Amino acid sequence: MLDDTLLADPAALATADGAGVLRAVATAGAQVRSAAQSAADAGLADLAGHRPRALVVLRRPGASGAAGELLGALLGAQSPVPFVLTDVVPSWVGPLDVVLAQSADPTDTELAESVARAVSRGAEVVLSAPAEGPVASAGAGRARFVEPRIPVPPGLDLPRALAVGLSVASALQLWPGGLDAHLDSLADALDAEAERNQPGHEPFMNPAKSLALRIAEHTPLLWGTDPAATAVAGHGATALATHAGVVAYSADIAQAATATGLRRAVDLAEQGTDVFRDPFDDPGPDAPPVRLVLLATGEDDPGQVAVRRTGRGWPADLHHPVDEIARGTRDAGLLRAAVLASRLDAAAVYLGLATRTIEPA
């Protein structure tokens, strides 16, 4: 059961969050800065001028998969080289390719085998993983090792993984216009989002608390209106499952609109509950009602994008952080995507605390 009073009581939140999960969410900006420094220490700048045949990103359980999806969405069709997101190193990888491997699991045997295969074939390998274990050993002395320096609970290291991926793309000059010092802007945007979502703010002033209350006791539908927002939606669904035990459905809005059952559920949710319905005579479905959350990172109005792509408007909670990241801001899509991902992380943690899914340490 949801204890919504908990979200309005900072002292009670601090007691419930004995494991410090909310504090870990607030390290997003620090994770980006730490990853940027680790990338510099690993010599990623030496990749400058190297135009690979392909950038191969290994998708592993945890944040590396979400970071890979988001990096691919941000690079999009404008990448001058193929961007390959895969679970294991392809058979064709060789000296002309760059492989990015990230994991929070030092014992990921499949990843260790992929790293060993990539370095044995002469590929340039960038590895970010714990310093001890089979994964690190597979790349020892032969891969550029980007050390994770800020420990966080499982599922909260997307900012670090994204920053490492962006550092690789920037060094290879695959990022449009170059990232250079703009990771600082990313860290600043995440710090600002952490301030908005801090426990001391009332729910009506805290976008993460507000979102947690809106999706509580509902089935969240996280739909993206653009590729980056869709990648964030997938991460949000994982965050809700990890921290709050909530099953959510994430998809691109055009794909989601083809699911006729969901379309009907959204329409029924908009109509609300019939006050004359007798729950004993007509119990109805056991599943909680859906709550559509529309995510957007682009410059265009999301409502117009939704109509253009699906032929209709949608009754939804809209999260399009143009107030936080103004239109025309450099790397606006990246910054908005990171802000939304951090907001979803915080909302999932707040919901987990309010439903006692997250246990005190």
Q: Residue 94 belongs to what H/E stretch? A: none
pLDDT at 284 over 60: no
pLDDT band at 246 (very low <50, low <70, confident <90, very high): very high
Dihedral sign of CA atoms 196, 197, 199, 202 in order:
positive
**Amino acid at site 27:** T
* pTM value surpassing 0.85: yes
Q: Are 218 and 287 in contact (CB under 8 A)?
A: no
Mean pLDDT, to the nearest integer, of 160-185? 84
β-pairing, 55-58 vs 98-102, is parallel
Mean pLDDT, to the nearest integer, of 293-311? 95
pLDDT at 275 over 60: no
pLDDT value, residue 181: 52
pLDDT value, residue 178: 60
Q: What are phi and psi of 173, to 5 degrees?
A: 60, 35
Tokens for 348, please give them: 């999932």
β-sheet bridge partners, residue 145: 127
**Interatomic CA distance for residues 225 and 296, integer angstroms:** 5
25-39, 83-97, 238-252, 265-279, range with the lowest pLDDT? 265-279
**Interatomic CA distance for residues 250 and 239, integer angstroms:** 12
Q: Where do runs of H (alpha helix) occur along the chain?
A: 10-16, 21-25, 28-41, 63-75, 109-120, 134-139, 158-171, 182-196, 207-215, 227-244, 253-256, 260-271, 302-310, 332-354
Strands ordered across the beta sheet of 249-252:
249-252, 219-224, 290-295, 317-319
Q: What is the pLDDT of residues 75-122, one digit of tens each?
A: 988 889 999 999 999 999 999 999 999 999 999 999 999 999 999 999
**Interatomic CA distance for residues 97 and 107, integer angstroms:** 25
Encode 63-86: b = buried (16+ Cβ within 10 Å), e = exposed.
bbbbbbbbbbbbbeeebebebbee
pLDDT value, residue 274: 46
**Interatomic CA distance for residues 52 and 215, integer angstroms:** 44
**Amino acid at site 111:** L
User: Counting every residue, how long is the chain?
Assistant: 361
β-pairing, 290-295 vs 219-224, is parallel
**Interatomic CA distance for residues 292 and 236, integer angstroms:** 13
**Interatomic CA distance for residues 147 and 38, integer angstroms:** 6
What phi-psi label fits residue 132: left (phi over 0), alpha (psi between -120 and 50 degrees) or beta?
beta
Q: What is the pLDDT of residues 47-65, one digit of tens each?
A: 988 899 999 999 999 999 9
pLDDT at 349 over 80: yes
**Amino acid at site 43:** G
Q: Are 302 and 327 in contact (CB under 8 A)?
A: no
Mean per-residue pLDDT over the chain, rounded: 92
pLDDT at 180 over 80: no
β-sheet bridge partners, residue 144: 126
223: buried, middle or exposed (CB in 10 Å: 19+, 13-18, 0-12)?
buried
Rounding to the nearest 10 degrees, give the CA dihedral for residues 248, 252, 258, 260: 20
Q: Are 170 and 50 in contact (CB under 8 A)?
A: no
